[in-house]
Each structure stands twice: as structure tokens, then as C-alpha cells.
Amino acid sequence: MDGMAEGRLPRFLIAHAAAGYVLALGVVAALFAGDVSGLRGLVLEVRGGLLAGAVFTLLMGQTLAVVQIAFALWLLAGAPGDGGGGHRARLRPSGILTPARAGP
């Protein structure tokens, strides 16, 4: 991510957050359209159900937006050729835990 210009990072994050919200709206719409577990009936018939449905949609959007940002950053860090992703450091023995050798 070091190669990404400072101005591009906020746009990158906002774009992926928006994609997560759009995905969440689709999921919530599918849940309501399919009336999964009577969710549509519950929201439309119970007093305060519309508020509960709005809060459910907002929190679902927030959750999927954060997940989308996390995946985007994870895939960005592991892109080949950019040096991202890190490398496993090689450990060298310090001699502290090596067994003593029998002397002459």
C-alpha cells in the first residue's frame, strides 16, 4: 500500500464501503422479498417494525461495508509484484538452545 498515493486511499476505501452497502441492500431486499422467517410480515405488521427494519438495514450495511473494505485491503496487500504482503523472516539459531557437544 506504500505505492498508493495519499489522495487515492480515501477514495479506495469509500468506493469499497459503498460497494458493501449496495451488497447489503441487495441482501436485505432479498430477505424481505422472500419473507425469510416472516421478516417482511414482522416489519410491516408490528408497531415499530419499520424502525426495526431500518436499523437492521443500516447495521447490515455497516457490517458488509467493513467486510468489503477488509477484503479489499487484504487483496491489495497481497497483490503480486508490488512487494506487499510481507515475507517470513528467517530465524537463525542463537546457540542458546543447541545441545552441548561432547568434548575430547
pLDDT at res. 86 = 56
pTM: 0.65
Question: What is the residue extent of each domain of the chain?
Answer: 19-76
Ordered DSSP codes for the chain: -TTS-TTHHHHHHHHHHHHHHHHHHHHHHHHHHTTGGGHHHHHHHSTTHHHHHHHHHHHHHHHHHHHHHHHHHHHHHT-TTTTTT--PPPP---SSSSPPPPP-
86: CB partners within 8 A, 6+ apart: 77
Q: Spell out the per-residue pLDDT of the chain, length 104, in tens.
A: 455 566 788 899 999 999 999 999 999 999 999 999 899 999 999 999 999 999 999 999 999 999 999 998 888 776 566 555 556 666 666 666 656 666 66
